[in-house]
Amino acid sequence: MFSISRTSSSLAGTVSRSATHVVKRWKSQKTIEVTLRANVQGLGKPAGRMRNRLYPMRLANYIDRNAQIIHKDNLAEQHAVQNAQEINMTYQQAAKKEKRIVHLQELRNRLQAVPALVFSRAVNEVLPGSKSIFGSVQAEDVLKELKEKHGINVEKDKLTVQGTKIKSVGESWAQVDLGDMGSVKLKIVVERR
């Protein structure tokens, strides 16, 4: 802020945009505050510049004290609403994370209770004593078995079968990744049909 008195006839430099300035009127020596809307060189040289030139050309506005108070109140309300929204969002994220953890714990308990998954496949009997099977047991087969017989839904990308496919008779395993909760191994048995 700066002021211009009767003895001061010029100001050096330019005034920055949206700056608030105090200009003293020549006759009454009253102070008025204005907000510049554009750069104005030599502000305050002639008397009545605000009233006669700056205001009509929309280069400056008078400052309304009541509007400033209302603006400050509105800002305070906006900050309060924003803080409440942030707290609500944080609470929702925590509740969502808690729900996910509970879901993963339940899934883990259900998977651990699943007995060995048994699949029947035809065996290639061309070679005596061969354990290789026609068709293989893949992740899709394990997912289907879990869903149909045990009512457990597992995402395909969370299940890994030993060696991607089981191609022989015997015991094998599949693993379900539960993220933060670790993983669960499922026993898989392939029998002769």
Give me the CATH number covering residue 123: 3.10.430.100
Q: Give a yes or no: residue 156 inside a domain.
A: yes
The 10s digit of each residue's pLDDT in 150-189 is: 999 999 889 989 878 888 888 999 999 998 889 999 999 9
Per-residue pLDDT tens digits for 87-130: 999 999 999 999 999 999 999 999 999 999 999 888 877 777 77
Residue 101 belongs to a domain: no
Could you tell me if 126 and 54 lie in one domain? no
Mean pLDDT, the chain, integer: 77
Residue 65 phi/psi, 5-degree rounding, is -60, -40
* CB atoms closer than 10 angstroms to residue 174: 24
**What is the total count of domains within the chain?**
2
Domain match, 2 and 69 both: yes
The span from the CA of 146 to the CA of 130, in Å, is 29
Q: Which residue is listed with tokens 């929309």?
A: 58
Asked which of 76, 94, 127 is the last residue of a domain, the reply is: 76
The domain in which residue 131 lies consists of: 109-192
Q: Are residues 118 and 186 in the same domain?
A: yes
The predicted model scores a pTM of 0.52
Residue 63 vs residue 158, higher pLDDT: 158
Q: Indicate if 115 and 184 belong to the same structural domain.
A: yes
29 inside domain = yes
Whether 123 and 188 map to the same domain: the answer is: yes
pLDDT of 81 over the 50 cut: yes
For 138, the token pair is: 């893949």
27 has a pLDDT exceeding 80? no
Q: Are residues 49 and 116 in the same domain?
A: no
